Amino acid sequence: MRTTVAPKKLTTRQTGAALVIGLLLLLVLTVLAISGMNTASIEFIMAGNEQYHQNAFQAAETGIAQGIANGVFNPEATPQSSSGPVANSPSDTYDIDISSPLGGAAQPAFWGNSWNSFSTFHFEIRSVGNSVRNAQATNRQGVAVLSPPDPSIGPGTGLPTAFTPGVAPRPPPPPPPPSPP
């Protein structure tokens, strides 16, 4: 005959701590995933903004190239303005202004560069490139136009009036020492 022994009933109280800890870990992982997605979307927008800024910069460079190609660099002309679209871009544009910052006055060439052989007229091209999302870039380019010499201008004060090859210009003499009292 077989005798069976009935197992003892365990009277332990389970409080569900594993369930609570599992739910807390799941919550932490969800918050991290949402934070990562937000960071990625913000970085995506930032990369797009940088691309649009580069497009605006290239549009401004296109404006400068158009200003050099089509501008009238006449010192007696009034400042010029123009604008246009960038080729192969449906939304990028440029606005250019060409002016003479020195009021159209002729400038002598730099000393040592045959200053009495030609004069220069200085101009500035200011180009503003525009792209989507209000991206904007402003570029400036200086232009010097050579012209026949202007007899009314000459080298600055204190500079020699002629250049002799092989002879370095002498500096001005030092001031005399003060006389003793």
| 57-81 tens-digit pLDDT | 999 999 999 999 998 888 888 889 9
pLDDT given at position 162: 53
Place of tokens 């290239």: 58
Please state, in angstroms and rounded to a whole number, the distance separating the CA atoms of residues 80 and 71.
8
Cβ atoms < 10 Å from Cβ of 169: 11
Say yes or no to pLDDT of 158 above 50. no
Better-predicted residue by pLDDT, 146 or 152? 146
